[in-house]
Structure 1
């Protein structure tokens, strides 16, 4: 009798959390809200082009732009980026869609020092996966994904607990609301961002100028970027490189072209990255894959130096604003249109 009562309580508690979590998400920080809605994207079975990556893609590249460049309909672009995304998430998403969308012929993805090094974004991605990521069989059976997400039984148990009791996945957000005055004062803006993210998912698959709530955020040119702050990005995360190579192998086996984009960071950050040589790992990776005769369907477009004096194009240190998105769109059209159409003719 006691066991039945206990199991009933657990079931009701889990049901309550799953039904009420939607009312708590508006109080969460931006990235959590985005990941929550990312699972609710409308997906077309006619997809021909896949877009993956992090918030630089979310803020800088729209599905409509890719559709125009590729000469396809907007609903034939599968737009899957997520903020703080890392190569393990990109590979996991690829494994999920590779067999479901046989018409795919090209994949766009961004690569930068943020997803070739071990840094705070790596840890954030792992937590976001536990809180909101799809608990797929691939994350357990693929050796690299298992190493990234479930290196021990504790990690696996924690993911199961969050799947059953989703409030645990929001604990970091909720705890800060209790003790952090800054988080408390940020609640009105979080609610606005929640609405804008929701709208972006419904109308443009999640393409959204980062942190925009009807305005066009602009980086202050006088904002300080402490010297050598990008030093941490100069390190090489071996697991990331191995996953990137596995990602390329997966799509190469499907005869699908992969186009890597290096989207620019803000001027001071890019200049600091040059000083700390944080680009070396990504640049070496690009050099390796483009010189590999086995990687015949890989192309790299590097735009890290295009806006080194254009502060007005950035909403913050790492994201383009609407002006920057428009400016990058013109460059992308010029660089990519001829490439994509010449590639199509050669198929």
Structure 2
């Protein structure tokens, strides 16, 4: 009898949490809200172009822009980037949607020092996956994904607990509201951001100028970027590189072209990255994948890290373009792709 009541209590508790979790998510920080709402995205099987990546894609590249560049309708663009996304998440998303996209021809994705090194974003991505990510057999059966997310049984147990009791996935957010005055002050803005992110999911597949709640945030040129703080990005995370190569292998085997974008960071951050040589790992990866002339037909790299080295007005913060920057970047990206297509046609 006690066991039955115990199980009923846990069942009711789980149901209660699943029914009420959406009331709590608007109090969470921006990235958590985005990941939660991203679960409502619909995979259109007619998609011909897939867009993956992190918040630099979210804020810098719109589905409308990709549709215009590729000459397809907006419904033929499937837009699935997430903030703090890492190559393990990008590979997992690819495996999840691959069987559902028989007409797919091209994948866009961004690569930068943030997803080739071991840094705080790597850890954030792991926790976001535990809290809000889906669960599929690929993450267990694929050796690289298993190493990234479930290196031991404790990790797997934690993921299962959160799936049953979703409040546990919000614990870090809720705890900060209790002890962190800055988080308490930020509550109203978080709620507004939740509304704007939700609207972006409904109207633009999640494309959203980062931190915008109807305004166009602009980086102050006087904002300090601590010298050499990008040093942490200069190291190579071997697992990331293996994941990137597996991502490429997956799509190349299916005849899908891949376009890599290196979207610019803010001027001071890019200059510091240049100083600490944090670009070397990503640059070496780009050189490797484009070394074979045959590979250039199905893997394209567009490196824009140096295009806005003096344009502070194009950034909302240290790492994200604002609306002005998004518009300016769209012009540059369209021209680069046009020039590439033109030169390729001449060479045929």
TM range (shorter): over 0.9
Give the Å deviation of 1:69.
0.2
Alignment of 1:208-223 (within 5 A): 208-223=208-223
| Distance in 1 (alpha carbons) for counterparts of 2:211 and 2:341 | 31
Give the Å deviation of 1:98.
1.2
> Is the 1:119–1:233 Cα contact (8 Å) retained in structure 2?
yes
Task: Identify if the C-alpha distance between structure 1 residues 104 and 339 changes in structure 2 by more than 3 Å, giving closer, same or farther.
Answer: farther
Aligned to 2:110: 110
Give the Å deviation of 1:43.
2.6
Query: SS at 1:304's partner residue?
Result: coil
Give the Å deviation of 1:99.
1.5
Task: Identify if the C-alpha distance between structure 1 residues 294 and 166 changes in structure 2 by more than 3 Å, giving closer, same or farther.
Answer: farther
> Is the 1:266–1:311 Cα contact (8 Å) retained in structure 2?
yes
Alignment of 1:129-278 (within 5 A): 129-278=129-278
Q: Tell me the alpha carbon deviations over residues 176-215 of structure 1, each in whole angstroms, 9 at most, x when there is no partner.
A: 0011111011000000000000000000000000000000
Query: SS at 1:58's partner residue?
Result: helix
> Is the 2:114–2:121 Cα contact (8 Å) retained in structure 1?
yes
> Is the 1:35–1:82 Cα contact (8 Å) retained in structure 2?
yes
Give the Å deviation of 1:345.
12
| Distance in 1 (alpha carbons) for counterparts of 2:92 and 2:320 | 24
> Is the 2:37–2:201 Cα contact (8 Å) retained in structure 1?
yes
Give the Å deviation of 1:336.
1.2
Alignment of 1:310-325 (within 5 A): 310-325=311-326
Give the Å deviation of 1:97.
1.1
> Is the 1:27–1:187 Cα contact (8 Å) retained in structure 2?
yes
Give the TM-score, by structure 1 length. 0.98
Query: SS at 1:291's partner residue?
Result: coil
> What is the number of equivalent residue pairs in this alignment?
347
Query: SS at 1:83's partner residue?
Result: coil
| Distance in 2 (alpha carbons) for counterparts of 1:239 and 1:340 | 33
Which segment drifts farther, 41-50 or 8-17? 41-50
> Is the 1:70–1:340 Cα contact (8 Å) retained in structure 2?
no
Alignment of 1:267-346 (within 5 A): 267-292=267-292, 295=295, 296-339=297-340
Which runs of 5 or more residues in structure 1 are unaligned? none
Query: SS at 1:182's partner residue?
Result: helix
Q: Tell me the alpha carbon deviations over residues 15-48 of structure 1, each in whole angstroms, 9 at most, x when there is no partner.
A: 0000000000000000000000111013322100
Query: SS at 1:78's partner residue?
Result: strand
Alignment of 1:26-175 (within 5 A): 26-175=26-175
Give the TM-score, by structure 2 length. 0.97
Give the Å deviation of 1:340.
5.5
Task: Identify if the C-alpha distance between structure 1 residues 345 and 82 changes in structure 2 by more than 3 Å, giving closer, same or farther.
Answer: farther
> Is the 1:52–1:107 Cα contact (8 Å) retained in structure 2?
yes
| Distance in 1 (alpha carbons) for counterparts of 2:98 and 2:342 | 23
> Is the 1:236–1:281 Cα contact (8 Å) retained in structure 2?
yes
